[in-house]
């Protein structure tokens, strides 16, 4: 409970014991009183703040004092209190003054009651306005928080959009590089196919040469068999015809020379056959290497196609995310606009 100061205004009348210097006309002075709410019914102690401490003061009735305090319970009030000490010599004049003072007191009581009612109404209005102000401040704080959240979400959406655009740009660059790589691989594959066709032609020629060498070798072998048969028959004839030895020897020499020639040719053909086999082996190795390169090129192309598909899927996903973010921002802006 706080204390509220109340100022009481008194009109002072001089008594017969006053000094000649004291003015005879009624004078005003003020009395400042501190009291506690609610009023307890006891008269508080009050101190004179006027200029004539030798004056005697009239007593204030407890009923008037209580009503004055209740009227001044919400703020500092100025209560004009009219009082006097009626001297026996004053007679009817003092009584008339007292009646006037009582009337004034009653009118002041009515004024203070009306002021108390207005004060209570103003207090209720003040409380209502404070409650409305608190609610409005709460709404403003809520809207500020919501705006802050929307701004933060907008910043995050812009960051995600920038990241998506950067990834999209990187994906486009990677796709361009993949396309260039595919073109290079296609060119290499075409060159490898041309080399393979050339090697197939060379292989066919080598096979044909090898078949021809085999055929000649078989023919020489057959001739050798024939010569050997003839040699046997000649030897048999030599045994039977020793007289024809010299002739047979000459024939034998001829046959021997022919055999040597055939053996030399056979050896030559054998060397050529080895050479052809070596060439066939080299061509076969080259063919295998070309096939390996072709398989690697096919795998590289498949891998690049898969990478392109993955990049396209990621690009599509990023577009969907961007669309969702745009819709989110539109909803947020619509909500803010509707508010």
Cis (ω within 30 of 0) for the bond into 161? no
Determine contact, residues 300/186, Cβ cutoff 8 Å.
no
Determine contact, residues 111/99, Cβ cutoff 8 Å.
no
Beta bridge partners of 48: 31
pTM over 0.75: no
Maximum Cα–Cα distance across the chain: 217
pLDDT at 186: 80
pLDDT averages per 10-residue partition of the chain, 339 residues? 42 40 41 40 40 37 38 35 37 63 81 82 84 83 84 83 84 79 81 81 80 77 75 67 64 76 78 81 83 80 79 81 80 74
The string of pLDDT tens digits covering residues 264-279 is 877 887 787 788 788 8
Beta bridge partners of 6: 33, 77
Determine contact, residues 49/30, Cβ cutoff 8 Å.
yes
The string of DSSP letters for 19-47 reads -TTS-SS-EEEEEEEEEESSP-SSPPP-E
Domain annotation for the chain: domains and CATH numbers: 3-122 (no CATH), 159-338 (1.10.287.950)
- What stretches of 173-301 adopt beta strand conformation (E)? none
SS3 90: coil
CA distances to 10, 29, 95, 205, 293 from 4, rounded to whole Å, are 19, 20, 34, 129, 106
pLDDT at 244: 58
SS3 294: helix
- Rounded Cα distance between 74 and 90, Å, is 40
Burial 110-144 (b: 16+ CB within 10 A, else e): eebeeebeebeeeeeeeeeeeeeeeeeeeeeeeee
């Amino acid at each position: 409970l706080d204390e509220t100061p109340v100022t009481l205004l008194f009109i002072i009348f001089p008594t017969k014991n006053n000094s000649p210097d004291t003015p005879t006309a009624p004078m005003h002075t003020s009395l400042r009183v501190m009291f506690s709410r609610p009023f307890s019914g006891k008269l508080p102690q009050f101190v004179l703040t006027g200029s004539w401490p030798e004056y005697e003061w009239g007593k204030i009735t407890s009923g008037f004092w209580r009503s004055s305090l209740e009227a001044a319970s919400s703020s500092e009030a100025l209560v004009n209190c009219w009082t006097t000490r009626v001297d026996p010599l004053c007679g009817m004049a003092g009584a008339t003054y007292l009646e006037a003072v009582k009337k004034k007191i009653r009118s002041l009581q009515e004024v203070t009651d009306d002021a108390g009612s207005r004060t209570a109404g103003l207090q209720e209005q003040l409380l209502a306005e404070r409650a409305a102000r608190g609610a409005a401040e709460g709404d403003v704080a809520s809207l500020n928080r919501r705006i802050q959240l929307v701004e933060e979400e907008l910043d995050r959406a812009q960051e995600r959009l920038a990241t998506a655009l950067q990834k999209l740009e990187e994906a486009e660059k990677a796709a361009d590089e993949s396309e260039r790589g595919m073109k290079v691989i296609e060119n290499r594959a075409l060159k490898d196919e041309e080399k393979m066709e050339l090697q197939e032609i060379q292989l066919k020629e080598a096979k044909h040469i090898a078949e021809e060498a085999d055929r000649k070798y078989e023919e020489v072998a057959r001739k050798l068999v024939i010569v050997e048969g003839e040699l046997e028959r000649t030897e048999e004839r030599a045994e039977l015809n020793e007289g024809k030895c010299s002739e047979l020897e000459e024939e034998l020499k001829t046959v021997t020379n022919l055999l040597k020639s055939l053996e030399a040719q056979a050896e030559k053909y054998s060397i050529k056959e080895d050479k052809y086999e070596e060439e066939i082996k080299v061509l076969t190795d080259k063919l295998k290497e070309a096939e390996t390169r072709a398989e690697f090129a096919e795998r590289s192309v498949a891998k690049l196609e898969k990478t392109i598909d993955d990049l396209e899927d990621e690009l599509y996903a990023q577009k969907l995310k961007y669309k969702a973010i745009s819709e989110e921002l539109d909803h947020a802006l619509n909500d803010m606009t509707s508010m």
